[in-house]
Structure 1
Amino acid sequence: MQSKIATGGVTTAQKQDAPREEDNAVKQESSQEEASVRRGKTALSGYAMYTVLFFVTVSTILIYFWKYHKSMVWDCDGVYQHFNSFVYYGKYLREILKNLWENHTLSVPMWDMSIGYGADILTTLNYYAIGDPLALLSVFASPEKAEYMYAFVVVLRLYLAGFSFLLYCRYHKNENVPSVLGALTYCFSGFALFVFSRHPAFVNPMVYFPLILIGIDKIFSGEKPWLFIWMTAVSAISNFYFFYMICVLMFLYAVVRYIKLFGGIRLKELLGWLLKFIGYFAVGIGIAAVTFLPSAMYVLNTGRMEAGNSVPALYPLSYYGRLAGDFFCVDYTSPGSRYYTVLGLVPLLLAAVFVLLVKRKKNTDLKAGFFLLTVFLLFPFFGHVLNGFSYVSNRWIWGYDMLLSYILVRVYPQLFRLDKTEKRVVLLLAVLYGAVVLLIPGHGTAHSRIAVAMLVILCAVIALCGSLKNRRWMTVFFYAMTIGGVGLNAWFLYSPQQTDYIGTFRTAGRPYKMLTTASECYPVKELGDTGDFYRYDSYGIVAHENTAMQTRMYGTDFYFSVSNGNVNRFFDELGVCIRVEQMYDNLDGRTILDRLAAVKYFVVKEGKEAFLPYSYDTKAGGNGKYAVYESGDILPFGYTYAFAVSPEQFAALTPAQKQQALLQGAVAEESSLPEAKLVFNDQEPQITVTAGEGVQVNGNTFTVSHDGAAVTLDFTGVGDSETYLMLEHVVYEGSADNFSLLVTMGSTEKKIPVYTPRHSFYSGKDDFMCNLGYNIEPQTQITLKFSKAGTYTLDDLYVVCQPVENIDGQTEKLRADVLQETEFSDNRITGSISLDSPKMLVLPMAYSDGWSAYVDGAPQKLQGVNLMYTGLELEPGEHSVELVYQTPYLKTGILISLFSICVFFSLQLLDRRIKTV
């Protein structure tokens, strides 16, 4: 027996046991530290393995760019929008830093006259560069070498997409092997292969979304909300368009996670969670308000948001017929790609889905997400909603890709624990699915056959893997099948022997030249005209939109996703033939519109002088490809009207009369000027319509039986005039969702592209007044050719002859009193003017609420004039005029951002104090 000795209430035995307890505690703590170290090493090895395999996999794509000497700049949007914005942003940042370094002043330009008819820099380029953290790297690349930095950033986005997915997997304590597999299938999904160099910004949500989901899970777990707040802010700052999709998908995720964690919906608790998330979300949005608020408000005012696109109940049958095969085939020509339903996933993901389905009582949250998002792909309504209630587009499909990749991660351990029945079912599903794909007409391609074979082999191996004891070989096999699947998709997508996607990318070293020396505006720049403000216009050439941004000139073209609604209103009212409301190349060669826009030079292809407007009869230069002609009768930046035209009076005019009215009186909502006594001299000759083969004419209805059929319009024209063909309210009934009308008169041929409400680019345009050019001799015949078979109905079809005899005299009146000593600087325009009577000063730049005017130092009201330009009514006398620009809602956004950042740090401080207490 042990004897007790008085030792302060502790027995000798207890004393003897105490060291052992201390040893146990030390051992336990040491064990925890070792486990933590092991987890850290495991995580590190996972990131290292992902990095190695990423570069192995991405090489299966990059080899096509290297082999065929291609840049990573896509032909159309890639050159003139994404790459152009990247180069512009680099110059923009360097100029700000240079000014800060040399002059010790922070000057941030907010308006650029070289973007369209003048545009806000932030709201125009937020969709492409400004706000994207990775785009900041553009500051380190010279314009001539920017192509290489652009390519680096393009690949870096892909890497970060997989890396953020891996972080999500590690947060949920998933194994390394499936996590790396999932990261690879996610960042190399068909959607990513399709857009990563075509529309680089489309990969950004793939980077942000997994991190936002980690933030949501941290909040549910009682951890800090900091990640959720900041990733919400970064997503909102980066791109308002994809941020909307992120918001919808993260809400769905939060609902599914709530039900999973709490086993159902309890209203009292749900309300508390909802308020908590709303609060954190509001702080994140508030931090982003500096860019998000101006951009969101700007895009809400574009015509593209109000186009009224048609949303069918179902997709075309061809869409559903190809969907099964498109699951692992990347074909940018398929019906699904039209709606951005670009899947092209590796077969391993479909095998994982089969395993998910056979495990009835497991992963109910993943099953719910899979069925929900699959339904979203089947009905156009969801593509409409997730695209901001605009046209139908499944650009949210990256969210579906993440779900499927995470299904692979979660079911991977179960691959080795399937019973015999489950294995047979998985294999049977693979065989049946493969049979369906191969039996559908048009699906028996080499791509689909190989993909189906890979799927069946995978499922056969899964059926056998339970008997294989060495998982290492299985891991190698799955990695190889994943990389092989990506390589297969890359081959069929990029290879010239297949769909030749690589052919749509520009030759290495070419993109920056296309924006500068190879553009049609460069011969104008080579003239060295550094005098007063002027614009150039063009026609009859392949347009190079937005190139004026790089050459620092002023043009009449524009192509960005959001545009000034005032410019669109101008084009609509005057029936100017443009493709879509966010893309316009010229002013259709109309003399009056060129005068009002201060167009001094007009560019045509050599030998295409038929496109030249009236008065552009002096050849000023050229480079053998493009010829530059100059007009000696133009308006400066800042001309004046002595008379006004009320909006009501203007609205009652025809498009031909409207453009004449714009030379005689300022169209303004508010004006004290006397009303203009308008004079019109346009004529509408009688026309005779003769139907060609394949066309039946019944009044203003044309029934066209085959593509390319035409009608001839005979008339007696007027000499020394411009001739227009007017088409009012064109309605098409047929199988196509877009068509073109080819209009020919003599040597002048113009194409009017028209989109129906079923097309994603539809913006409500159905009135067109096509200018067929200026001719001294009377014209007598126009041919109208229909590109698509169908029925065309018009409210009216007629010819307008617009004599030019009054134009010079009316121009001279507007030039009587003009703005003198005009100077342009960052966000500021100054000049002086002397008037003998009240007049409306009109500045030929797109109107924006961001401009403020000061006349002789006192504030003065600016307003939109002539539909899209900027006007300022002045009293008689000598005046100094100053215009100052600030991005609308920017100041409010800055204040909200500063306040929200203070709230964020207050939350952190409060959290620390609670911990201390």
Structure 2
Amino acid sequence: MRKLQKNYPYILLTFFSCCLIFIIWPNNSSFGSTTDWVQQHIKIADYFRTLFFENGQFFPDYAAHLGGGVNIYALSYYGLFRLDVLVSYLIPSVEMEYIVVTYILLEFVASINLCYYWLRKQNIEKEICFVSAILLATSSLLFQSHRQIMFVNYTPYLFCTLIAIDNFLQTKKIRWISLSIALVILHSYFFSVTAIILCTGYFLLRLENINGKIKLKEQKSVLVKFIGAISLGIGMCAVLLLPTAYYMLHIQKDRGSTLSPIEIFGITPSLKGLLYYSYGAGLTIIVLFVLILSLQYKRTKKMGIILLICLCSNLVSYLLNGTLYVRYKVYLVFLPFILYAFAKTLQEMYHSEKKIHFSPLLLACIPVVTIYLFDHKKEEVPLLLDVVVALFLLLLFYRKKNTRYLLLACVLPFIICVRLNANEVYPQKEKTVFSDNELADLCSAYPGRFLDTTTGLLNVNHIFSPDTYKTTMYSSLSNGEYNTFYYDYMRNPMSIRNRVVLSSNPNVLFQLLMNVTTMETRKETLPIGYEILEEKKETVLARTKDAMPPAYVTDSLYDKRQFEKLSYPENIDVLSQSAVVDTDKTDFQKRTKKENFSLAIDGKRNRKKIVRLPKTYKNTVLLLSFDISRKDGREVVIDINGIRNKLSGKYANYPNNNTTFTYILSSNQPIRELRISASKGNYHIKNVNLYSLPYGNIQKRNQSVDTVNLEKPIDREVLKGNVTVSKEGYLITSIPYEKGFTAYMDGQKIPVEKVNTCFVGFPIKEGKHDISIVFHAPAKRLGLMISGISLVIFIILFIYEEKLLWKRKH
């Protein structure tokens, strides 16, 4: 009976957590948002499993199916070695969505219980521990569990690390610290840096509190052991950290908006990192009140000062975000430490006879007033009621010295949490026009790359089968040179606010160059040269025979230095007929013709209209472009013939700076008009240019090259085949170039060059040749070696500490 009573808090917390999940999770919906959760967290995790079963490699190097092909460590942020992804390899018949959702919900419930367990181990009153755990459950932890899971999926292992630190100070056993830190890193390496810093601060604080119980010499030994434990945990993850760090240091990273010194060194008066904000800690005003009161107690003063400075300072956020931006998501890592200070302060208020003053709580008026006046989400938060109730309960608790009054503090956070989570847009479980099996069959029947322009962001990372290869990708890390080629040279329309997304839109010039042989699209946007294979509900599956091979040899070359001097549309004209390489050839036949055409679009009026073209265009590709002149800083969206371009708002997190809209228009039917639909706003267009390019000039290009006959790659090979070269020239691929590629011709290693601005290629002579292109992720071998050594050390350490424990017991 006593044991059951001891477990009551865990049973109640588990029940509360499950009820909270049940309340916010709509029927017939996935437990995740319609934004990054589906496109990245589910689709990329599912791709890892597909890749594992395709090549059987536990430590892969290359992701050939996304973004034209990319270093696998560009995707490592999405759980390359995460536990749920690894478990999915054992149960391939279970959908990845179910595995990820089950895992994140188990983590959520475990985090709440571990929070209570950890605080209770500090001899803090049960009610205070319970309230702290409820505040964790109603914080942003739940919201981010269905929005950005990497923001919070390390949380239970962070609590395990803190528990391990407490045990280490008692037993001097370091193994659990190393294991817990390793799990934090494997789940979210980005947030692990902040987690390690805060865990180190917690360790030093606990060491200081037991200063009188440990001699100075022993303290140094303890500190060295702790550093060793953390280092061992980091070392075991070197196979993830080193190749990822190398990749991050060698790409062009989108840093978002440029920050001014005021933004970096300023403060956040609304305390978004702490209060109510879903991309911060998401706690309520009672926590701020208690942190302010903590400054009046000797044992909690230092914690309170450090936390309040961190939560107010933009500089701290800027540094912990790797100097990328000032964002409040890093404060999610602070949750255990904020709640620790919260619980310890309430414990002092309960036991201490010291008289404290509540007048400093007036400082809380600053964030309260700021939120009330400027935060657009204030309608979702009963702010004034929260202030009054929190103040009343704290006064009652302090005067009566009764912890049960604090239990009432759980009510408003629960209501606020439900209201904030209720505004999430959960993806409905709806059927697509063509099933995954149908699309997989299409990709298997017609080798080459596949493009889906019907589902927007939803399927940019979705791989239906091992035969599905795409030019699109949505990842925080990506090949910057390929991105430049994608948008700046080939002028793919930018239909998303974030330029990092390689979105899917019709562009026949790009598709032919990139070996896009099949596509799913709306009938109205079907490009020229693609024949319909199947049609359902105005959506078609189509293929073309005009796409360039994935690898070929050509002697039609153009000097890359001269190419850099060309402007649009000459550069896209050159790419459509020649290979841009290191040569002295600069001859090309200009095929684009400027048309006499004018167009006016005004965001204030006539936002929907049909414009007649100067003539009817048959078997022609039209290149339409214009600049956006915007005065109000709002987002601009213009659709022309079903193709969308978007200029993100001035204050977007990742402004795409798409001030020039380009539309590559083509159709198997004659083009007579432009169907235009534009968003409302204070803008107009200028510098309108329309060029025509006869499709016949590019239609048969694939017949003028020597095609590489492909074979199935093995091991680390990206491309393998043979080719009979009729004229000396260059072997050209549509594989985006990055460090790590090695080429072999007839068994001999040869240097790889960057061709067509960002692709793998090399010179080749006449005759028959066997070709192999291999990719090894830079720094992976070193990382694997360090991880292996660290793992061996950990196992030896584990056995050693187990033996010591056994000897003490016997």
Give the drift of 1:651.
0.7
Q: Deviations over 1:712-746 (max 9, x none)?
A: 99984683432223346x6856444xx224153xx
Rg larger for: 1
One-letter amino acid of the structure 1 residue matched with residue 776 of structure 2: Q
CA contact (8 A) 2:44 2:461 kept: no
Distance 1:414 1:382 in 2: 28
Q: Residue 191 and residue 391 in structure 1: after superposition, are their counterparts in 2 closer, same or farther (change >3 A)?
A: same
1:677 equivalent in structure 2: 587
Give the drift of 1:850.
3.4
2:406 equivalent in structure 1: 478
2:11 equivalent in structure 1: 52
2:306 corresponds to which of 369, 373, 380: 369
Q: Deviations over 1:613-658 (max 9, x none)?
A: 2212x22113335212232323233222113323211111123222
Q: Does 1:726 align with 2:625?
A: yes
Query: What are the within-5 Å matches in structure 2 for residues 172-183 of structure 1?
Result: 172-183=122-133
1:22 equivalent in structure 2: none
Distance 2:703 2:621 in 1: 20
Helix, strand or coil at the partner of 2:397: helix
Distance 1:568 1:435 in 2: 43
CA contact (8 A) 2:562 2:586 kept: no
Gaps of 5+ in 1: 1-40, 100-105, 330-335, 695-705
CA contact (8 A) 1:685 1:715 kept: no
1:760 corresponds to which of 653, 661, 665: 653
Give the drift of 1:895.
1.4
Q: Deviations over 1:844-871 (max 9, x none)?
A: 2333433433222222233332233322
Q: Does 1:865 align with 2:755?
A: yes
One-letter amino acid of the structure 1 residue matched with residue 157 of structure 2: Y
Q: Does 1:597 align with 2:525?
A: no
After TM superposition, the structure 1 stretch with the greater mean CA deviation from structure 2, 285-294 or 540-549, is 540-549
1:410 corresponds to which of 340, 344, 349: 344
One-letter amino acid of the structure 2 residue matched with residue 861 of structure 1: P
1:818 equivalent in structure 2: 707
One-letter amino acid of the structure 2 residue matched with residue 823 of structure 1: K
2:557 corresponds to which of 618, 627, 644: 644
Q: Residue 195 and residue 431 in structure 1: after superposition, are their counterparts in 2 closer, same or farther (change >3 A)?
A: closer
Query: What are the within-5 Å matches in structure 2 for residues 634-713 of structure 1?
Result: 634-668=547-581, 670=582, 675=585, 677-688=587-598, 690=600, 692=602
One-letter amino acid of the structure 2 residue matched with residue 549 of structure 1: I
Distance 1:85 1:441 in 2: 34
Query: What are the within-5 Å matches in structure 2 for residues 494-509 of structure 1?
Result: 494-495=421-422, 500-501=423-424, 504-507=425-428
Give the drift of 1:894.
0.8
CA contact (8 A) 1:612 1:774 kept: yes
Q: Residue 525 and residue 236 in structure 1: after superposition, are their counterparts in 2 closer, same or farther (change >3 A)?
A: closer
Query: What are the within-5 Å matches in structure 2 for residues 314-329 of structure 1?
Result: 314=263, 320=269, 329=276
Q: Residue 269 and residue 94 in structure 1: after superposition, are their counterparts in 2 closer, same or farther (change >3 A)?
A: same
Q: Deviations over 1:106-163 (max 9, x none)?
A: 7765434322312344x24421222222433324545555444333211111133234
1:132 equivalent in structure 2: 82
Q: Residue 867 and residue 160 in structure 1: after superposition, are their counterparts in 2 closer, same or farther (change >3 A)?
A: farther
One-letter amino acid of the structure 1 residue matched with residue 238 of structure 2: A
Query: What are the within-5 Å matches in structure 2 for residues 484-495 of structure 1?
Result: 484-495=411-422
Query: How many residue pairs get matched?
Result: 796
Percent identity between the aligned chains?
Answer: 18
1:64 equivalent in structure 2: 23
One-letter amino acid of the structure 2 residue matched with residue 131 of structure 1: F
Q: Deviations over 1:224-264 (max 9, x none)?
A: 4444433333333333222233345446656767777779x
One-letter amino acid of the structure 2 residue matched with residue 489 of structure 1: I
1:545 equivalent in structure 2: 459
1:341 equivalent in structure 2: 280
CA contact (8 A) 1:308 1:763 kept: no
CA contact (8 A) 1:856 1:879 kept: yes
One-letter amino acid of the structure 1 residue matched with residue 493 of structure 2: C
Give the drift of 1:544.
3.2
CA contact (8 A) 1:656 1:682 kept: yes
1:447 corresponds to which of 382, 386, 404: 382
Query: What are the within-5 Å matches in structure 2 for residues 93-242 of structure 1?
Result: 109-121=60-72, 123-143=73-93, 145-166=95-116, 168-169=118-119, 172-186=122-136, 188-213=137-162, 223-242=172-191
Helix, strand or coil at the partner of 1:801: strand
Distance 1:384 1:731 in 2: 32
Q: Does 1:876 align with 2:789?
A: no
Helix, strand or coil at the partner of 2:553: strand
1:770 equivalent in structure 2: 663
Q: Residue 646 and residue 227 in structure 1: after superposition, are their counterparts in 2 closer, same or farther (change >3 A)?
A: farther
Give the drift of 1:887.
2.8
One-letter amino acid of the structure 2 residue matched with residue 639 of structure 1: Y
Distance 2:364 2:254 in 1: 43
Helix, strand or coil at the partner of 1:193: helix
2:400 equivalent in structure 1: 465
2:470 equivalent in structure 1: 555
2:693 equivalent in structure 1: 802
Distance 1:251 1:758 in 2: 36
Give the drift of 1:550.
2.9
Q: Residue 283 and residue 844 in structure 1: after superposition, are their counterparts in 2 closer, same or farther (change >3 A)?
A: same
2:294 corresponds to which of 328, 352, 356: 356
Q: Residue 723 and residue 836 in structure 1: after superposition, are their counterparts in 2 closer, same or farther (change >3 A)?
A: closer
Q: Residue 200 and residue 432 in structure 1: after superposition, are their counterparts in 2 closer, same or farther (change >3 A)?
A: closer
With the length of structure 1 as denominator, give the TM-score of the two structures.
0.75
CA contact (8 A) 2:546 2:699 kept: yes
Give the drift of 1:807.
0.9
Helix, strand or coil at the partner of 1:655: coil
Q: What RMSD in Å do the two structures reach over aligned CA positions?
A: 4.5
Helix, strand or coil at the partner of 2:690: strand
Q: Deviations over 1:359-410 (max 9, x none)?
A: 354412222223212213xx3x443332222233211121343233112321
Distance 1:662 1:431 in 2: 61
Give the drift of 1:488.
1.1
2:327 equivalent in structure 1: 393
Q: Residue 711 and residue 255 in structure 1: after superposition, are their counterparts in 2 closer, same or farther (change >3 A)?
A: farther
With the length of structure 2 as denominator, give the TM-score of the two structures.
0.84
Q: Residue 193 and residue 543 in structure 1: after superposition, are their counterparts in 2 closer, same or farther (change >3 A)?
A: closer
Give the drift of 1:751.
2.7
Q: Residue 252 and residue 88 in structure 1: after superposition, are their counterparts in 2 closer, same or farther (change >3 A)?
A: same
Helix, strand or coil at the partner of 1:71: coil
One-letter amino acid of the structure 1 residue matched with residue 300 of structure 2: N
Distance 1:227 1:109 in 2: 28
Distance 1:754 1:818 in 2: 39
Q: Deviations over 1:588-614 (max 9, x none)?
A: 433222111112223222xx42x2222
Q: Deviations over 1:78-110 (max 9, x none)?
A: 2222122344445555677xx7xxxxxx77654
CA contact (8 A) 2:79 2:186 kept: no
Helix, strand or coil at the partner of 2:712: strand
Distance 1:676 1:193 in 2: 59
One-letter amino acid of the structure 1 residue matched with residue 585 of structure 2: E
Distance 1:427 1:319 in 2: 18
Give the drift of 1:545.
2.2
Helix, strand or coil at the partner of 2:711: strand
One-letter amino acid of the structure 2 residue matched with residue 341 of structure 1: G
Distance 1:771 1:613 in 2: 9
Distance 1:648 1:454 in 2: 69
One-letter amino acid of the structure 2 residue matched with residue 719 of structure 1: Y
Helix, strand or coil at the partner of 1:245: helix
CA contact (8 A) 2:550 2:733 kept: yes
Distance 2:289 2:42 in 1: 38
Distance 1:429 1:785 in 2: 47
